[in-house]
Amino acid sequence: MIKNCASFIAAGGLFAGLFWAMGQGAAQQAQGARQAPPKLMKVDWDTPEIQTFFRERTTNPPRSLTPDDQVKLSKLRLPVIAFDRPPGIVDRAFGVTRVPKRVRELVTDPDDPHWFTVIDTYCDLTITVDGDLRVQQELPADTKIYTQAPGLAAEPSVSVVDNNVEEGMEGLIAEYTVRKFPNIPYQITIECTQATRLHCFDSLALLRDRKALRIISARQLE
């Protein structure tokens, strides 16, 4: 049994520095520089899963969103998927009657509504879902791309990283990616501490859990 769950939940911070020695002129140049808009993947809004969500979001709304969450996610330009209810790994790790309360964090950028991160923490088990429309790598124009026929979605593969190989780290991280609507990549990351690490090893069970992923927000913006 896990004790003192609160001790496993920590907030991290990002630290950045700007060196004045680079010169005021260089700083002004950086400030005025314009970045080319990212190339984006297209969302198939006619996908049956999205259309079902549109029809049922009043009668069967997501249970894990607060009103503030809904407002925040409604500005995104891609469907948001997450575990609306605790996935199976939570029950397996803690027992059905001892599931810890979920602590959720939503990470978005109002100036770049093409990605999101949903972080669900259950004591010393953290589940993250990342979605991103931005094209991360461009292939040459003559590259041949082979796609599967509709209905033949590839089975994701789970990669597991053992943090014990690094000094000061413990536990495991398991990751896999699902593609939806039709090819938007959604990466699922499960972080297990030493106490729950055995459950991160069970790749088959983790892949079964992905069936519990559902759309929690989607809005087709013109």
**Which tens digits make up the pLDDT trace of 102-122?**
999 999 999 999 999 999 999
The C-alpha atoms of residue 194 and residue 13 are separated, in whole angstroms, by 23
Whether residue 12 is contained in a domain is answered as no
Whether residue 156 is contained in a domain is answered as yes
φ, ψ of residue 73 in degrees (nearest 5): -80, -20
Whether residue 84 is contained in a domain is answered as yes
Q: Would you place residue 65 in the very low, low, confident or very high pLDDT band (cuts 50, 70, 90)?
A: very high
Give residue for tokens 């001892």: 98
Whether residue 17 is contained in a domain is answered as no
Q: Are 172 and 192 in contact (CB under 8 A)?
A: yes
Whether residue 171 is contained in a domain is answered as yes
The C-alpha atoms of residue 102 and residue 63 are separated, in whole angstroms, by 12
Q: Are 209 and 88 in contact (CB under 8 A)?
A: yes
Provide the domain count of the chain: 1
Identify the pLDDT of residue 42.
Answer: 95
Give the single-character DSSP code of 65: -
Interior/surface letters 115-143, b for 16+ CB within 10 angstroms, e for the rest: bbebbbbbbbbbbbbbbbbeeeeeeeeee
The C-alpha atoms of residue 27 and residue 29 are separated, in whole angstroms, by 5
Torsion (CA) 178, 40, 135, 82 in degrees, nearest 10: -30
Whether residue 104 is contained in a domain is answered as yes
Q: Tell me: the pLDDT tens digits for 81-107?
A: 999 999 999 999 999 999 999 999 999
Residue count of the chain, please give it: 222
Q: Tell me: the pLDDT tens digits for 5-20?
A: 655 555 433 333 433 3
Q: What is the mean pLDDT of the chain?
A: 82
Structure tokens at 158: 């789970």
Phi-psi region of 181 (alpha: psi -120 to 50; beta: other; left: phi over 0): left
Whether residue 79 is contained in a domain is answered as yes
Instruction: Decide the pairing of beta strands 184-192 and 80-83.
Output: unpaired
| Residue span of the structural domain in which 50 resides | 38-136+151-217
pLDDT above 90 coverage of the chain, percent: 63
Whether residue 11 is contained in a domain is answered as no
Q: Using CA of residue 175, residue 129, residue 62, residue 42, what is the dihedral sign?
A: negative
In order, the DSSP letters of 139-176 are: PPTT-----PPTT-PPPP--EEEEGGGSTT--SEEEEE
